[in-house]
Structure 1
Amino acid sequence: MTPAASVDLAGLGFDEGAHVLLRRALVPLRPGARLAVDGRHPQLRVHLPAWCRANGHRVEWSGPTPVIVRGDRDDQRWLGAVRAGSPGPGSVDPRPASGWGLAARGSLVEEGGPEVHFDLEERDLVWAAVAPRLYAHAANRQWSPDTAVDWHAPVDLPDDIEAAVVQVMTYLVENEQAALLVPARFLGRIHPHFREVVQLLAVQVADEARHMEVFTRRALLRSPTLGSSSAGGRASLWTLVQESDFSLTSFLLSVLGEGTFVDLLAFLVAHAPDPVTRRVAWLAMQDERRHVLFGVAHLAEQSRVDPGLRDRLRDRLRDRLRAAVERRHDALLDTAGLNDDVSDALLVLAAGGWDPASIASGHRRVQALRQAMDDGRRRRLERLGFPADEAAELSALHTRNFM
């Protein structure tokens, strides 16, 4: 029978990629079709039959040129394969198979791979329709601490004002360390099928790492040391890191904590005494707004699929705060309010002077900040479906350490 096609391997051996040319030549042929193989490699007579046997084909040597008879078992290994959903974000599988493991969404998954189980492998536990768009936005808005901030801008502040900046920056670094650890803990727990959520959280970790860097660099720009860290502040932040439920963490960190943090950064943008402080606060604020948006969007979708979520969020928050108070009963002053060093530093920055009138003005501005934080928390809670009175109650229960 005359071969239906031919392929010329020239002097190419199977250890050099000859099989790639053979596969390509066999793809359009039907089972039983014949492929003539020209080749000069000295081991062709040995390697060609071995490769054909492994791939379900047969070789005929009716002359100097071998002929491959295409078998019907070439794709046998893929007979039980299934598609891991669709590659686009619009058709995310509600519960991707554990056998898909690390397979790319939309790929053809061969049977027999490891069964990989993830803690968060249901769409409704982690998904938000806005995640793909937020990730694209986040990827396009990455910035470099070296180039996004003019570290040579004039910063010539009085020692007491510089000390206030250093204290606030120290507090920001502490909060951002917690905000980095929280999403980092979930990265390995989410099924890779929900890749946009994983990617978004990974970018969020990178965001917080940058924030820590620029806040630290600003603190040490004119000072050899950082400011103080209160026991109550650290204990409050640690309760965030300890939370293991993804939705509850989104509620505590994004809806309450980082939402409040955005107000604080906006306050610093308005009252920064130098351009470097203003710039690092503004850059961080843009990132934090995106973090809050994902948390609120995720919880809004959760509330639609789980009507009982709001009750659990409310009860868990109350339990968390009550437990935190019990753990920190011997540090009640810190627990009941913001670290005095930080609170005073914010007042000094808002005052802009040391005369009584300026200090009184700074105090009013800090009080207005606290009110803005409370108003923002209420709005986000009401957006999630909490009645106004309950939103007010939950906002009042939020830790006064801001985050």
Structure 2
Amino acid sequence: MADLANLGLDEGGHLLVTHGLDALSPGERLTVTGSHPALGIHLAAWCREHGHQVAWTDAGPSGSPRAGRAGGTADDTTVVIVKGSAGERRWQGAERAGLAAGPPAAHANAAWGLAARGALVEAGGPPIGAQWSERDHVWADIAPQLYAAAAASQWDPATAVDWTAPLGGAPPEVERAVVQLMTYLVENEQAALIIPARLLSQLHPHYREVMQLLATQAADEARHVEVFTRRAVLSGGEPGTSSAGGRASLQTLLDEPDFTTAAFLLSVLGEGTFLDLLRFIAEHAPDQVTADVTRLAARDEARHVAFGVAHTAHLARADRHYLGTLRQAVERRHAALRDTAGLNAEVFGALVLLGAGSWSPEAIRRGWAAVRDLQDRMDEGRRRRLAAIGFPDDEAAELSALHTRNFM
């Protein structure tokens, strides 16, 4: 029985009727009572629309109350509804979009569309045009933890950096070196923003943790673009130079169509190498602003690298032959960039000068040695990450040597 009191069907009363019918099987009866003057008319129309039948109604004020509602009056209307089977047929063919608890499904059905994981999905909805719907091609077990860490670690460029801090007494040429490095970082971070955004747009939402993680990664890169841009012009000058070879190197990342190879080239090799670069700049920064923006960016980039390594290793374990695909991606990129100039000479010079601190011969020797040591650390880090993915040590060393001279 459903007692609506004076609630009209057009005021939410239909929810009480539906709730009562949900507990019944097709053919069973529900008695509805209420004092709303249009209840009988509204229920008759509602039943026709939803595939139920009105078996009996006492719609007039002269009838006696039929329900056992305390305080019922002769103005009450009583309607008996026979539940139809239309609602049951609606959900025939429905399936669960995986399990709400536990790991995501190995394959995400395009017919699930935007349904929440674990939801009962009615048949007939529009399929989602996601390019990547296989778990092994996008997943890493660490993704949920990395997303939680990323969500907790977002920082505000306006408050995390003291933009009023003095730039210090560094020589003008060192300041120009910082400006050049910031210009170079902006260029690379813009590519690093586009790639996760593109991957995100083609990912099946069933793998929501990866989608969320990529969204935070794009947000990270947007912040990096902002802070590096602000630092580049903080002293009032113009940004530095942008080389054709550097842009060509980044374009090969944008052109990579596969989810895993794009994540591998960007995060495992490129951003992994950039971690060492950012730490170098922070270590040799001539002012607090430069140290802070590179330190904060490095903290974010470490998460991006962690996901790239974990995901690539996950797929390599699931499909050992995929290591060959990754090798081909490195070799293909190396061949495409063979005739380019590599790292912008102004960027290399800026790194040396940053490490030196001045133009004296002895300082330049020191800066040169520091940059050579940086390149060795970059190579060591790439080999270590490649080995973690599953490459033998000798192959890891060979592939690291093929990585672009442009760092990213």
Report the TM-score when normalising by structure 1: 0.92
2:299 maps to which residue? 286
Q: Which among 139, 151, 173 is matched to residue 163 of structure 2?
A: 151
Q: Give deviations 1:101-155, integer Å, cap 9, x for gaps.
A: 1111111101111233321111111111111111111111111111111111122
Contact map agreement 1:35 1:70 (CA 8 A) in 2: no
1:36 maps to which residue? 32
Please list every run of 5 or more consecutive structure 2 residues that lacks an aligned counterpart in the other structure: 64-75
Matched ranges for 1:257-296 at <5 A: 257-296=270-309
Contact map agreement 2:143 2:307 (CA 8 A) in 1: yes
Q: Which among 48, 52, 56 is matched to residue 47 of structure 2?
A: 52
Of stretches 67-76 and 297-306 in structure 1, the one that deviates more from structure 2 is 67-76
Q: Which among 183, 190, 201 is matched to residue 203 of structure 2?
A: 190
What is the CA distance between 1:401 and its match in structure 2? 0.6
Q: Give deviations 1:10-29, integer Å, cap 9, x for gaps.
A: 15341x32222322344345
1:398 maps to which residue? 403
What is the CA distance between 1:191 and its match in structure 2? 1.0
What is the CA distance between 1:224 and its match in structure 2? 3.2
Tell me how far apart the structure 2 counterparts of residues 30 and 385 of structure 1 sit (CA, whole Å): 57
1:131 maps to which residue? 143
Matched ranges for 1:170-189 at <5 A: 170-189=183-202
Contact map agreement 2:24 2:83 (CA 8 A) in 1: no
What is the CA distance between 1:174 and its match in structure 2? 0.3
What is the CA distance between 1:316 and its match in structure 2? 2.6
Q: Give deviations 1:254-310, integer Å, cap 9, x for gaps.
A: 111000000001111111111111111011001100000101101111111111111
Is structure 2 residue 235 aligned with structure 1 residue 222? yes
SS in 1 for 2:207: helix
Q: Which among 66, 83, 87 is matched to residue 71 of structure 1?
A: 83
Tell me how far apart the structure 2 counterparts of residues 55 and 392 of structure 1 sit (CA, whole Å): 68
Report the TM-score when normalising by structure 2: 0.91
Q: Give deviations 1:171-228, integer Å, cap 9, x for gaps.
A: 0000001111111111121111111111111111111001000100111111231110
Is structure 2 residue 6 aligned with structure 1 residue 10? yes
Amino acid at match of 1:159: P
SS in 2 for 1:91: coil
2:123 maps to which residue? 111
Is structure 2 residue 31 aligned with structure 1 residue 19? no
Paired residue total: 388
Tell me how far apart the structure 2 counterparts of residues 238 and 10 of structure 1 sit (CA, whole Å): 68
Q: Give deviations 1:320-376, integer Å, cap 9, x for gaps.
A: 211232xxx3xx4x23xx211111111111112332222111111111100000000
2:371 maps to which residue? 366
SS in 1 for 2:337: helix
Contact map agreement 1:84 1:106 (CA 8 A) in 2: yes
1:341 maps to which residue? 346
What is the CA distance between 1:80 and its match in structure 2? 2.1
- The structure with more radius of gyration: 2
The percent of aligned pairs where both chains have the same amino acid is 54
Distance 1:18-1:36 versus aligned 2 partners, 3 A rule: closer
What is the CA distance between 1:33 and its match in structure 2? 3.5
Contact map agreement 2:161 2:289 (CA 8 A) in 1: yes
Tell me how far apart the structure 2 counterparts of residues 169 and 87 of structure 1 sit (CA, whole Å): 44
Matched ranges for 1:343-358 at <5 A: 343-358=348-363
What is the CA distance between 1:249 and its match in structure 2? 0.9
Is structure 2 residue 211 aligned with structure 1 residue 206? no
Root-mean-square deviation (CA), in Å?
1.7
